[in-house]
Chain A
Amino acid sequence: MVQSTFGSVELDFTSKLFMKITDQQLSEHGLEPQSQGKVLLIACGALAREILAVIKANGWTHIDLQCLPAIYHNKPEKITPEVRKTINKHQKSYSNIFIVYADCGTGGDLKRLCDEMGVEMIEGPHCYSFFEGNEVFEMREEITCFYLTDFLVRQFDAFFWRPMGLDRHPELRNMYFGNYTTLVYQAQIKDHALETIAEDCARRMGLDYEYRFTGYGDLEVALDKFSTNA
């Protein structure tokens, strides 16, 4: 059993709920709501496993999760219009909606949309920040660090290596990463296999490697607040 500590609750990552979702599905298609709760989370597919883990650990049966394709990470201009569509689609079916995207490269567009549509969103510039805790992340001022989360470690080739053409043209590596110094793996769960992969990613990128266990950080806090107020 693969386990992680969430608060005082141990999470079972081998349960049916987790096993039947593939990373490819989350990357390309996202995730449809699994049940009929009364409130809805609209989130990035890259956060699906983490959010489901928190929901399960807390027994929040009143919360449903809809994820948009995680690959929007590489096309942030798609995020705001797709979130708008999803809110419109579900607004009548749920009493409350919470957006589990940070700014994520939308340049404030997503916040403006949320204000316009009367929904709340998680705070922070991106998931690297809220996983670590927004205050701590801001204080670090690590402008030469490249971050990976659990999902991005697993999807490193699909999200970075191949779209950047590095599988075909490794000579471009320093043009992309020449100004970076360190790959920071922000781990949400303790998984030795992922650590090994992340370290290998750093080697391929020509960067130093740092492991940082974050758990769910401000994600957990924000979901708890939403659940309480929902």
Chain B
Amino acid sequence: MSDQDDDIVLSELNDEDLVAQMFDDLYDGLKEEIEEGVNILLGRDWAPYRVLTEALVGGMTIVGNDFRDGILFVPEVLLAANAMKGGMAILKPLLIATGAPRVGKMVIGTVKGDIHDIGKNLVGMMMEGAGFEIVDLGINNSVDAYLEAIDREQPDLLGMSALLTTTMPYMKVVIDTMIEKGIRDDYTILVGGAPLNEEFGKAIGADAYCRDAAVAVETAKEFMARKHNQMATNA
């Protein structure tokens, strides 16, 4: 940020200017400023869900677009994500308490043999921001870990992530096991990670490959809308 921003007092901005400033602060990865902005908006009787969608998700969408377009790089996205995480920590209990709309539920985890979770964490956070309930299994997940979580949580979607070309084939092991057990079609399966591509996603039998967190959110929403429509048709 430029020096002039040092003089900005967030609490003195009107709602519109404050949200615009929060977009800038998210872009610059300023966690404390984001936390302050969230608290100010809540103090002005904004519903937690509105703060989340209009201030945080709106700002992260800009970050995501600029990452996709090669304007921002991984370090900047991580700083922005860290700032958003600060805001989310304040909002999460309030969202639960106020019964914010829930779009769907997703179990997500990095596959066996892989400890990389930056992309997965970004997807989880953006999905939460879009109203999905996320059950994060963490890293290095075996088939059994995925199946147990699916059985326990009964999600709409399963997300699998891998950063290594040596570990990404494990996604197929999970999907094949789900086919064997006759539960594959009960869930929408999204896969992602730097070495993956659409062709790989199709080859292993996933429903979609998502190249980044924003695409994951949009894809998940589309599948949920389709599911909703199917249920309406069959009703």
Interface residues of A (CB under 8 A from B): 76, 103, 105-108, 125, 141, 143-144, 164-166, 168-169, 171-172, 175-176, 179-180
Within 8 Å CB of A179, what residues of B?
115-117, 139
Task: Kindly identify which residue among A108, A141, A169 contacts B165, using a CB–CB cutoff of 8 Å.
Answer: A108
Interface residues of B (CB under 8 A from A): 29, 73-76, 78-79, 82, 113-118, 139-140, 164-166, 168, 195, 200
Within 8 Å CB of A164, what residues of B?
74-75
B118 CB, min distance to chain A CBs, angstroms: 6
Q: Are B165 and A105 in contact (CB under 8 A)?
A: yes
A27 CB, min distance to chain B CBs, angstroms: 18
CB within 8 Å for A106 and B165 given contacts A143-B114, A179-B116: yes
Distance in angstroms between the alpha carbons of A27 and B82 in the assembled complex: 32
Q: Are B76 and A175 in contact (CB under 8 A)?
A: no
Q: List 23 A-B contacts (CB under 8 A).
A: A76-B195, A105-B164, A105-B165, A105-B195, A106-B165, A107-B165, A107-B195, A108-B165, A143-B113, A143-B115, A144-B115, A164-B75, A165-B73, A165-B74, A165-B78, A169-B29, A169-B75, A172-B75, A172-B82, A175-B78, A175-B82, A179-B116, A179-B117
Q: Are A107 and B115 in contact (CB under 8 A)?
A: no
Distance in angstroms between the alpha carbons of A166 and B29 in the assembled complex: 14
Within 8 Å CB of A168, what residues of B?
75
Distance in angstroms between the alpha carbons of A176 and B79 in the assembled complex: 12
Distance in angstroms between the alpha carbons of A106 and B195 in the assembled complex: 8
A78 CB, min distance to chain B CBs, angstroms: 13
Chain B residue at smallest Cβ distance from A104: B165
Chain B residue at smallest Cβ distance from A146: B115
Distance in angstroms between the alpha carbons of A107 and B140 in the assembled complex: 19
B90 CB, min distance to chain A CBs, angstroms: 20
Distance in angstroms between the alpha carbons of A107 and B197 in the assembled complex: 10
Q: Are B165 and A103 in contact (CB under 8 A)?
A: yes
A14 CB, min distance to chain B CBs, angstroms: 37
Distance in angstroms between the alpha carbons of A172 and B168 in the assembled complex: 25
- Give the top 4 A-B pairs by smallest Cβ distance, nearest first: A165-B75, A179-B115, A107-B165, A125-B166
